[in-house]
Amino acid sequence: MAGIADLPLHDGHVPPWMLRVMKELTRSIVEAIIDERGPEGLVRGLTDPLWFQAFNNIIGMDWDSSGSTTVVVALLKQVSWEEDLGFLILGGKGSRMLRIPEEALEAERRLDVDSGRMTEFSKVSARATSVFLQDGFDIYEHAVVVTHKGPVLAIDQGMSLEHKLARRYHLDKDAIEEPFSGVAGIRADVTLNATAAESREARKAYLDILSEGKERVLRYLAQANAALGTPTLLSQQRKPERTARYYRPVMPSRQLLRSLERLTRSPPASERELALAHSLGPTTLRALALIADIVYSIPTSDRDPLTLSLDPFAYAYAVGGKDGVPYPFDRKAALEALSYLREAVERARVGDRERLRAMARLRSLLRGLGVEV
């Protein structure tokens, strides 16, 4: 079943008492999953945006709230650093994103994973969602999940002030091309998607353009801008709605000139080097995409990478929601579930795995009845 996970920007904060219950639910569920499937099993779930959404519902956050990302990531991060569970989460919302390099050093000590790999994975995944993909959502949350195998997942969230909605990105590949395991949100007017497989030739063109030097790039840009303003066959070949978004002039601002100066002084030899270049921003990439398309006739994709697998709303009936959807957070039910989970995990740790097996049998039974779990 396919659906769309819209994430409206909700006001307000989770009450402290409720947050404490949510944190303990998070801890117990995570411990149960790791005890049964290891850290890799938890990561497999987190790569699916709608599994993530269901986890959010189970602990009591509203099914459609933008806070479902910020709160869940924050709670998972707290739990991961407080105990030795085989995984750590770096970064988070706002200024926490900037702490990833220093947190990577501590994660290196705890998980014996190269901090440089973690930092580089973070940079590439962040560039994928904020530069190579331009869909109208500004990234304000960036977190990296790390296990003993290294960085395995990035979870980003962007905000559209125009639509008052958020979009969540799950990236499980250490690459620019098709890095997403899933994207949850509304269908967007994508300006360009240079992460798409069909943009491979365009990304090669970006490197060729930069290798020709700053002055040549600026001449190409002037030609492309001029072509946009003339009623040529080119303008007739483009879809009108796409022309309004993608095919608009890119002005050579001071920032763009500085960016091109740095990029052409020592041109990147690969798309990964381009992604890691300090001076690369959305405007520079759009200029390169415009030149590649109009001058070289190599277009960049505008495909929306949105992917969805099921409607997570059913999980919202577990313990209710912070804002009362579909009913107010039920503290008693949450505490009973927490007690059950704690007991099940403790029994499993001393050798009595019957309860977790019973839970597995229940899942199988529900699937047999056609209920997605």
pLDDT tens digits, 310-368:
444 545 555 566 666 555 666 777 677 667 666 666 666 655 556 566 656 555 544 55
Let me know: does 329 contact 18? Beta carbons within 8 Å.
yes
Residue 5 has pLDDT above 70, yes or no: no
> Which of 163-167, 210-214, 231-235 is modeled with the greatest confidence?
210-214
Please name the residues in contact with 33: beta carbons below 8 A apart, sequence gap of 6 or more.
41, 42, 45
- Domains of the chain, residue spans: 7-190+306-368, 197-294
Q: Residue for token digits 């602990």?
A: 59
| Residues 259, 201: Cα–Cα separation, whole Å | 22
Q: What is the identity of the amino acid at 96?
A: R
pTM of the model: 0.79
Per the DSSP assignment, residues forming a β-bridge with 169 are: 156, 183
Radius of gyration of the CA atoms of the chain, in A:
23
Let me know: does 60 contact 110? Beta carbons within 8 Å.
no
Structure tokens given for 225: 């801008």
Residue 51 has pLDDT above 60, yes or no: yes
At 367 the pLDDT is: 57
DSSP states of 116-133 as a string? Answer: HHHHHHHHHHHHIIIIIE
Instruction: Pick the closest to residue 333 from 315, 320, 314, 347 (CA basis).
Output: 320
At 16 the pLDDT is: 87
Q: What is the pLDDT of residues 267-309, one digit of tens each?
A: 999 999 999 999 999 999 999 999 999 999 999 999 999 886 3
Half-sphere CA count of 209, side-chain side, radius 13 A? 29
User: Beta-strand (E) ranges in the chain?
Assistant: 7-8, 87-93, 133-134, 138-147, 150-160, 165-171, 180-184, 192-193
- When pLDDT is averaged across residues 29-35 and rounded to a whole number, the result is 91
Q: What is the pLDDT of residues 73-116, one digit of tens each?
A: 999 999 999 999 999 999 999 999 999 999 999 999 999 999 99
Preceding omega of 326 cis (within 30 degrees of 0): yes
Structure tokens given for 289: 């995409």
Q: 112 — alpha (psi -120 to 50), left (phi > 0) or beta?
A: left
Label residue 12 by pLDDT band (50, 70, 90): low
Pairing of the two strands 150-160 and 133-134:
unpaired
Structure tokens given for 353: 């795995």
Half-sphere CA count of 105, side-chain side, radius 13 A? 3
Residue 227 has pLDDT above 50, yes or no: yes
Residue 215 has pLDDT above 70, yes or no: yes
Let me know: does 43 contact 147? Beta carbons within 8 Å.
yes
Let me know: does 31 contact 84? Beta carbons within 8 Å.
no
